[in-house]
């Protein structure tokens, strides 16, 4: 069975291991800079296995070198936000760690799932610093925003969440763009079922969902939905599910934009991103997407197309 290496055994990392185990997707190796933490979490998870009947092997290590040998790496390490903090403020705190890992995996045939914030900036940076093809570096952005929109639409309409398909693209912060035309309930476009104003209100909720949870939880950020999103990406990579997910990917000419990472829908299989699917954007949506790209390229000190 494949082994997924998870760097960072905090809430997001450990719960990702939990969801992967429950789905029986792959074995898991946890790593954390804090000595013993990974081994402790792994043991706790394994001790639940007889009751939950998963057969996945979960282990912990204190060796960064050991975890980096995994073909699939989840980068869930780094600082997380406190209330009143924006995701971008984490850049300085996390950039060193991500650059260090990028250098260590340079040239390897690895699949990277970026969870550390600010996710779009670090996804772009990682591709540039590691030389790993952009198709192999996935940022957990749009998939999380989309799952939140699916939930919001299902709750609003009082229908099964599984029937709701939603697409949120762009930057994983307040600039995210929810595409009503690509949001459906059992194939029925959502605007056939709710007014546009209601959709926009739901998008506002999604936009602020991360902030809301930080403010409520005070000492932690959201991690259940992020972990579920990560586990779903791992599943696609391991089992070649070829699902369509919105992930943050370094752009190479999509909508004429280069060298920044933003979420777009991709078909995901064991080889990473099989193809990027470009939604037809309305003028206003395109304008917002480009504005996000410009803001990011300023941050990265590189020019977007």
Partner 1 sequence: MSKVSVIGSGNVGATAVYYIAEKNLADVVMVDVIEGFPQSKSLDFLHAAPLREYNVRIFGTNNLEEIAGSDVIVFTAGVARKPGMDRMDLLKINATIARDASRAIARHAPDAVVIVVTNPLDVICMVVLRETGFEPARIVGQAGVLDSTRFRYFIAEKLGVWPGDVTAMVLGGHGDSMVPLKRYTSVGGFPIEELLDAETVESLIERTRKGGAEVINYLKTGSAYYAPAASTAKMVESVVKNERRLIPASVFLDGEYGYRNIFLGVPVYLGAGGVLKVLELALTDDEKKALDSSAEAVREGVKTLDSLYEQKIL
Identify the residue among 244, 258, 286, 295 touching partner 1 (CB under 8 A): 244
Instruction: Say if residues 74 and 6 touch (Cβ distance below 8 Å).
Output: yes
The count of chain residues that interact with partner 1, using the rule CB under 8 A, is 32
Applying CB under 8 A, does 248 fall inside the site for partner 1?
Answer: no
Integer distance in angstroms from the first to the last C-alpha of the chain? 42
When the beta carbons of 2 and 244 are compared against partner 1, the nearer one is 244
Q: Is 241 in the site for partner 1 (CB under 8 A)?
A: yes
Q: Residue 104 — left, alpha, or beta (φ > 0 → left; ψ -120 to 50 → alpha)?
A: alpha
- Angle at the Cα of 112 (from 49 to 143), degrees rounded to 5? 80
Report if residue 48 touches partner 1, rule: CB under 8 A. no
Binding mask 167-206 for partner 1 (x = CB under 8 A): x-----------x-xxxxxxxxx--xx-------------
Nearest approach, Cβ of 8 to partner 1 (angstroms)?
Answer: 28
Is residue 136 part of the annotated active site? The answer reads: no
- The interface with partner 1 within residues 104-163 (CB under 8 A) comprises 158-160, 162-163
Q: Which is nearer to partner 1, 279 or 305 (CB)?
A: 279
Report the catalytic residues: 172
Chain residues binding partner 1 by CB under 8 A are 53, 158-160, 162-163, 165-167, 179, 181-189, 192-193, 241-245, 265, 267, 274, 277, 279-280
């Amino acid at each position: 069975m494949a082994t997924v290496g998870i760097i960072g055994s905090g809430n997001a990392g450990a719960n990702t291991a939990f969801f992967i185990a429950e789905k029986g997707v792959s074995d898991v190796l946890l790593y954390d800079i804090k000595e013993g933490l990974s081994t402790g979490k792994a043991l706790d998870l394994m001790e639940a296995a007889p009751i939950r009947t998963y057969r996945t092997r979960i282990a912990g290590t204190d060796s960064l070198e050991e975890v980096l040998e995994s073909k699939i790496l989840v980068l869930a390490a780094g600082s997380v936000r406190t209330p009143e903090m924006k995701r971008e403020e984490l850049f300085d705190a996390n950039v060193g760690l991500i650059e260090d890992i990028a250098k260590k995996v340079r040239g390897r045939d690895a699949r990277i799932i970026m969870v550390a914030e600010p996710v779009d900036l670090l996804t772009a940076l990682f591709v540039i610093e590691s030389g790993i093809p952009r198709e192999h570096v996935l940022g957990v952005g749009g998939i999380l925003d989309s799952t939140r929109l699916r939930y919001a639409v299902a709750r609003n309409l009082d229908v099964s969440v599984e029937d709701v398909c939603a697409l949120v693209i762009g930057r994983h912060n307040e600039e995210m763009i929810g595409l009503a035309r690509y949001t459906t309930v059992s194939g029925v476009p959502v605007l056939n079922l709710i007014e546009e104003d209601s959709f926009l209100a739901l998008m506002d909720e999604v936009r602020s969902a991360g902030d809301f949870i930080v403010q409520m939880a005070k000492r932690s950020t959201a991690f259940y939905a992020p972990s579920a999103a990560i586990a779903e990406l791992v599943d696609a990579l391991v089992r070649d599910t070829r699902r369509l997910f919105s992930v943050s990917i370094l752009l190479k000419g999509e909508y004429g934009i280069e060298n920044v990472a933003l979420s777009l829908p991709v078909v995901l299989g064991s080889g990473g991103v099989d193809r990027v699917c470009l939604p037809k954007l309305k003028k206003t949506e395109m304008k917002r997407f480009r504005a996000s790209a410009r803001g990011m390229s300023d941050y990265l000190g590189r020019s977007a197309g």
